[in-house]
Amino acid sequence: MNQQDLSGDTEAVLLLCGRFGGEKQDAYQPLTPREYGELAKWLIGLNLRPSDLITDAGRDALANVQEVRMERKRIEFLLGRGTAMALALERWARGGLWVISRGDADFPRRLRRHLRHATPPLLYGAGNKSLLNLGGLAIIGSRDATEAALEYTRSVAARCANEGLAVVSGGARGVDAAAMQGATEAGGHCIGVLASDLLKASVNRQNRIGLQEGRLVLVSPFFPEAGFNAGNAMGRNRYIYTLADQALVIDSALRSGGTWEGAIENLKHRWVPLYVRSPGEGPGNAALIAEGGLPFKLMADSAEKLAELFNTGVAEEFASSDTPVEMQPSLFHSEAATARLAESIVSEPVPEQIDDVPPAPNAKIGDSPDTEPAVTAGESSASESSAPLVSVVTTSPFKATEQSATAGTGDVLDMFVDFSAKLGSLLREGALSEEEIAARLCIEKGQAKVWLKRAGDAGLVEKQKRPVRYGLGRQNSLC
């Protein structure tokens, strides 16, 4: 991770929400994901982006931040934590860690789609970021699994690898480790979602080879140096489910424990189809099926393909929520570009109710200074669609709201959309200066400046130094 790898927005979000290791003593605590969401909405209303907060314009705007019931002093204090951030980033970079925020192109789309405003503002990670959008099978189970369960886990994971399905795992001992091992050893791709110690995990020998070869990505919404914490461990379950396309519970205790709670949470929110090993060894397996899980009867030596199995039966209900990655249009495709700009912060609330989780009390500052406040999906009555310009598709019993990639452009005529589309094709030939771009697109230099800044902030283009030129953003691999 070097400075160029951190987008301007991520820098600002990190200042607002990140922990760097010294927060216990600070007068003001970082924003919770929910608080950040409020602030972001307010910023959008002012036509500002998070990165603007580092500039004079943003600072002036903060005079009215009490409109969202936030203390100006707190926000200013948080934004002033640059030295603390730089020290932490330098340390993390040595372990090969990176940081992304909701607005970055690499930010996993599935998380945004399922968790909406409860999406964590920041993700810390190590390894190949592009794996975050692979989806695949989440394999869930306990730390203290039987040897038979571990063996079964490894064989399912290896089968995923052979069929080109990624495996999502929690990175803990037991079933998690067996899943990762089975997938990596069979040459497959793997996403590990960690609740603690990302920095240490990134140098763990078991993980290193996968990380080096680009087949493993480790990711965590928590401070990379955080030690184990039960709250975070539970909090991370939701990310395991929502990064995958379907989940398999190997064994679960009955009505207790992380595996049970996580599986129930997934069933409640109807994130992804939940398969449960059947027959399994867990006392809770049958109960999970009774709660809505699907029996997973695959024998270790069966010839049946996982992909076929997942494509039949109830799994179809998820189809609409599952826009294939390949269909994601070019970033310069006008709708997508616009959507991304809005999406990248937090978008307008739509009157759709998440009704099955009682609202959680707002996290109080200082409640648990050691831990990231766990994100609670239902804490706001309003959720948001991922983009204001797109029709919401809800054809399944699950509340899939992913915009159709080919949806109409809606009724907002934003010239920037047109500009960014043309800019995309123009820059494909190579990087150009501001003047050249203005001349080629027949616009005023001042206008080009404003739009280029906006495009740069959205990660669509990259500003190069000496001489100053603009080229296609490096995240723009989909072009």
Please say which residue, 121 or 424, places its beta carbon nearer to another protein: 121
**161 Cβ neighbours under 8 A, 6+ residues apart:** 167, 182, 183, 184, 186, 187, 188, 189
**Residue 57 binds another protein (CB under 8 A):** no
**Residue 2 binds another protein (CB under 8 A):** yes
Q: Judging by beta carbons within 10 Å of its beta carbon (0-12, 13-18, 19+), is residue 365 exposed, middle or buried?
A: middle
Least separation in angstroms between CB 89 and another protein: 5
Least separation in angstroms between CB 275 and another protein: 32
**Residue 42 binds another protein (CB under 8 A):** no
**Residue 292 binds another protein (CB under 8 A):** no
Least separation in angstroms between CB 96 and another protein: 5
**Residue 181 binds another protein (CB under 8 A):** no
Least separation in angstroms between CB 475 and another protein: 19
Cis, bond preceding 369 (omega within 30 deg of 0): no
Least separation in angstroms between CB 274 and another protein: 32
Amino acid at 16: L
How many residues form the binding site for another protein (CB under 8 A)?
A: 45
**Residue 196 binds another protein (CB under 8 A):** no
Number of H helices, E strands in the chain: 19, 13
**Residue 6 binds another protein (CB under 8 A):** yes
| 455-458 CB contacts, 8 Å cutoff, 24+ apart | 455/416, 455/419, 455/420, 455/423, 456/8, 457/7, 457/8, 457/9, 457/49, 457/51, 458/103, 458/337, 458/340, 458/341, 458/344
Please say which residue, 170 or 210, places its beta carbon nearer to another protein: 210
Residue 377, H or E segment: none
Please say which residue, 76 or 265, places its beta carbon nearer to another protein: 76
**Residue 90 binds another protein (CB under 8 A):** yes
CA separation for the pair 264, 255 (Å, rounded): 9
**Residue 225 binds another protein (CB under 8 A):** yes
**269 Cβ neighbours under 8 A, 6+ residues apart:** 114, 238, 354, 356, 357, 377
**299 Cβ neighbours under 8 A, 6+ residues apart:** none
Please say which residue, 99 or 248, places its beta carbon nearer to another protein: 99
Encoding tokens for residue 456? 């740069």
Least separation in angstroms between CB 406 and another protein: 38
**Residue 17 binds another protein (CB under 8 A):** no
Least separation in angstroms between CB 331 and another protein: 26
Please say which residue, 93 or 365, places its beta carbon nearer to another protein: 93
Q: How many CA atoms lie within 13 A of 452 on its CB side?
A: 26
CA separation for the pair 63, 35 (Å, rounded): 17
Which residues within the stretch 92-131 sit at the binding site for another protein (CB under 8 A)?
A: 93-96, 126-127
Of 17-25, 151-159, 311-319, 343-351, which segment contacts another protein by CB under 8 A? 17-25
Amino acid at 374: A
Of 8-16, 140-148, 321-329, 380-388, which segment contacts another protein by CB under 8 A? 8-16
Query: What Å distances lie between residue 124 and 135, 136, 140, 147, CA to CA?
Result: 18, 20, 22, 32
Least separation in angstroms between CB 420 and another protein: 24
Least separation in angstroms between CB 454 and another protein: 18
**Residue 207 binds another protein (CB under 8 A):** yes
Q: Judging by beta carbons within 10 Å of its beta carbon (0-12, 13-18, 19+), is residue 364 exposed, middle or buried?
A: exposed
Please say which residue, 48 or 360, places its beta carbon nearer to another protein: 48
CA separation for the pair 18, 14 (Å, rounded): 5
**Residue 80 binds another protein (CB under 8 A):** yes
Q: Which of 44, 89, 240, 438 binds another protein (CB under 8 A)?
A: 89
CA separation for the pair 379, 376 (Å, rounded): 6
CA separation for the pair 93, 338 (Å, rounded): 32
Q: Which of 61, 68, 91, 185 binds another protein (CB under 8 A)?
A: 91
CB-based contact 205:177 (threshold 8 Å): no
Least separation in angstroms between CB 458 and another protein: 19
**Residue 456 binds another protein (CB under 8 A):** no
Q: Which of 82, 369, 408, 446 binds another protein (CB under 8 A)?
A: 82
Q: Which of 177, 179, 211, 240 binds another protein (CB under 8 A)?
A: 211
User: What are residue 149's phi and psi, to 5 degrees?
Assistant: -65, -40
Least separation in angstroms between CB 1 and another protein: 8
R_g of the chain, CA atoms, integer Å: 22
**Residue 83 binds another protein (CB under 8 A):** yes
**Interface positions with another protein (CB under 8 A):** 2-3, 6, 11-12, 15, 20-26, 54-55, 77, 79-91, 93-96, 126-127, 199-200, 202-203, 205, 207-208, 211-212, 225
